[in-house]
């Protein structure tokens, strides 16, 4: 069976540095940090009091107030980015076979805001008997964003959520890729959303010593590959890609951003939260993606790394890149866009895939900001081009995007400049 080709025809993003794709890209290229004091709740008693929040989001720009009340914030983000991506794709829903359009849209955590509010209300008022909002469960569950998107447009194709922690939305993109090239769908809306900047989210990650506590300088706290890195910065938002079978896209005259040519998955099988110190899972996932794309390491121009700014993770990923890419590791560009957006958890993969696609389209590699000094005690080779400080212009024909999640879940996708 000959596999079909898959292209990207639409993009949507809501991030801490922009509430649509053009704003996101402009601020990304200009090295703007999205970090600042937490406003979603009073964090004054918390060890970490800052995060990368989405700014000025108004759900009623995307849905009526009644519908918004039925959705957790993460689902509101999902609807918003799906609407931007569908509009961007130029898709005329009325002319399409809706049975061949699917939605694969994930969340690593899901409706934690709703969960905390409802359980808090229960314990506050339990003497009056158990009282729960009838929308509690459908607002909270992590599959509901995919369901809400399909309901919005009437898409009857494959529909489900992925959940693999921080690899969630890359897994969604990979699944969409595989279903389309096998002929199971013409179009899939793929991506992820997350809204976990809550007392439980921040408190839980802080208790694990996973997030930075640099309250005196939030905007510089996410500093991948720097010796002074002390954990990731929590982010929120969503990313969405319209993935489409090539001939279908051409037949309707769709613009094509890039071609998705390979996807890889692997497991560290090592630790609940820490990546393997030698990057075994990271090496395997990149090799699997390259094999799937039928590409050699020398063909890759840019890697959007997982690059969370954690002491162990940054070391293991840089080791893996050197081993997989050999001499090419010193010729390609590397950057961590989490230095600007923070870590969007389950939405990170989709947002970083968009960054990778736009690097191809625009011939610009976004920077890794906030680098202070090299880590002499760590095995990070600073001869690698981490694109520190400012964006770099270069022709990008092939871009690879890594995402690694708690539990040892690894996912990687490869995009290529589209050519007939």
Domains of the chain with CATH codes? 7-416 (3.40.47.10)
User: What would the two tokens of residue 284 be?
Assistant: 């395997």
pLDDT band at 419 (very low <50, low <70, confident <90, very high): very high
**What pLDDT sits at residue 379?**
83
> Would you call 181 helix, strand, or coil by DSSP?
helix
- For residue 413, pLDDT over 80 is answered with yes
Give the tens place of pLDDT for each residue, 292-313. Answer: 999 999 999 999 999 999 989 9
- For residue 32, pLDDT over 90 is answered with yes
- 8 A C-beta contact, residue 235 and residue 336: no
Give the tens place of pLDDT for each residue, 346-359. Answer: 999 999 999 999 99
Backbone angles phi, psi at 232, to 5 degrees: -80, 165
Average pLDDT score over residue span 24-50: 98
- Residue 389 C-alpha from the chain's centroid: 22
For all residues of the chain together, what is the average pLDDT? Answer: 96
Give the tens place of pLDDT for each residue, 84-119. Answer: 999 999 999 999 999 999 999 999 999 999 999 999
**What pLDDT sits at residue 195?**
98
Average pLDDT score over residue span 57-78: 97
User: What would the two tokens of residue 323 be?
Assistant: 């081993």
Q: Is the pTM of this model over 0.85?
A: yes
Is 412 assigned a catalytic role?
no
**What pLDDT sits at residue 68?**
97
**What pLDDT sits at residue 367?**
98
Catalytic residue of the set 52, 163, 166, 240: 166
Burial of 124: CB neighbours in 10 Å, binned 0-12, 13-18, 19+: exposed
- For residue 377, pLDDT over 80 is answered with no
- For residue 230, pLDDT over 80 is answered with yes
The secondary element (H helix, E strand) that includes residue 245 is strand 237-245
Residue whose tokens read 């961590």: 336
Give the tens place of pLDDT for each residue, 105-157. Answer: 999 999 999 999 999 999 998 888 888 999 999 999 999 999 999 999 999 99
Residue whose tokens read 């809706």: 98
User: What would the two tokens of residue 268 be?
Assistant: 């560290």
**What pLDDT sits at residue 375?**
82
Task: Provide, rounded to the nearest whole percent, the portion of the chain with pLDDT above 70.
Answer: 100
**What pLDDT sits at residue 336?**
98
**What pLDDT sits at residue 358?**
98
Return all residues near 42 (Cβ < 8 A) that are at least 6 apart.
none
- For residue 250, pLDDT over 80 is answered with yes
Return all residues near 89 (Cβ < 8 A) that are at least 6 apart.
9, 10, 242, 244, 254
- For residue 277, pLDDT over 90 is answered with no
User: What would the two tokens of residue 401 be?
Assistant: 């995007």
Task: Name the E strands within 328-372.
Answer: 333-335, 364-365
Query: Count of CB atoms within 10 A of residue 122's CB?
Result: 15
The secondary element (H helix, E strand) that includes residue 28 is helix 21-29
- For residue 324, pLDDT over 90 is answered with yes
- For residue 274, pLDDT over 90 is answered with no
Return all residues near 48 (Cβ < 8 A) that are at least 6 apart.
202, 205, 206, 211, 212, 213, 215, 234
- For residue 378, pLDDT over 80 is answered with no
């Amino acid at each position: 069976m000959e596999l079909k080709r898959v292209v990207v025809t639409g993009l949507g993003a809501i991030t801490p540095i922009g509430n649509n794709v053009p704003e996101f890209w402009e601020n990304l290229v200009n090295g703007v940090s999205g970090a600042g004091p937490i406003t979603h709740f009073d964090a004054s008693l918390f060890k970490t009091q800052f995060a990368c929040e989405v700014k000025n989001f108004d759900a009623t720009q995307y849905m009526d107030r009644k519908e918004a009340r039925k959705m957790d914030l993460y689902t509101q983000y999902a609807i918003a980015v799906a609407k931007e991506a569908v509009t961007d794709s130029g898709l005329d829903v009325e002319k399409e076979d809706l049975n061949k359009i699917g939605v694969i849209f994930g969340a690593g955590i899901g409706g934690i805001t709703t969960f905390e509010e409802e359980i808090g209300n229960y314990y506050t008022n339990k003497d009056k008997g158990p009282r729960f909002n009838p929308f509690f469960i459908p607002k909270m569950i992590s599959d509901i964003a995919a369901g809400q998107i399909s309901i919005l447009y009437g898409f009857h194709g494959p529909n489900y959520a992925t959940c693999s922690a921080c690899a969630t939305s890359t897994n969604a993109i990979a699944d969409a890729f595989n279903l389309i090239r096998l002929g199971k769908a013409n179009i899939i809306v793929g991506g992820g959303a997350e809204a976990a900047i809550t007392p439980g989210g921040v408190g839980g990650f802080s208790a694990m010593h996973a997030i930075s506590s640099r309250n005196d300088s939030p905007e510089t706290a996410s500093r991948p590959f720097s010796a002074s890195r002390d954990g990731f910065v929590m982010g929120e938002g969503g990313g969405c890609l319209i993935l489409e079978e090539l001939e279908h896209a051409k037949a309707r005259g769709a613009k094509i951003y890039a071609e998705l040519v390979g996807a890889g998955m692997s497991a560290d099988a090592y630790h609940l939260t820490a990546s393997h110190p030698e990057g075994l899972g990271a090496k395997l996932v990149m090799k699997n993606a390259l094999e799937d794309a039928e590409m050699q390491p020398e063909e890759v121009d840019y890697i959007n790394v997982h690059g969370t700014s954690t002491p162990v993770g940054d070391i293991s990923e840089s080791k893996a890149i050197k081993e997989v890419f050999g001499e090419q590791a010193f010729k390609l560009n590397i950057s961590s866009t989490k230095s600007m957006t923070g870590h969007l958890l389950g939405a990170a993969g989709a947002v970083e895939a968009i960054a990778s696609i736009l690097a191809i389209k625009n011939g610009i590699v976004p920077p890794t900001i906030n680098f202070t000094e090299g880590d002499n005690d760590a095995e990070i080779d600073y001869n690698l081009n981490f694109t520190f400080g400012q964006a770099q212009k270069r022709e990008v024909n092939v871009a690879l995007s890594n995402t690694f999640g708690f539990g040892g879940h690894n996912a990687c996708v490869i995009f290529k400049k589209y050519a007939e």
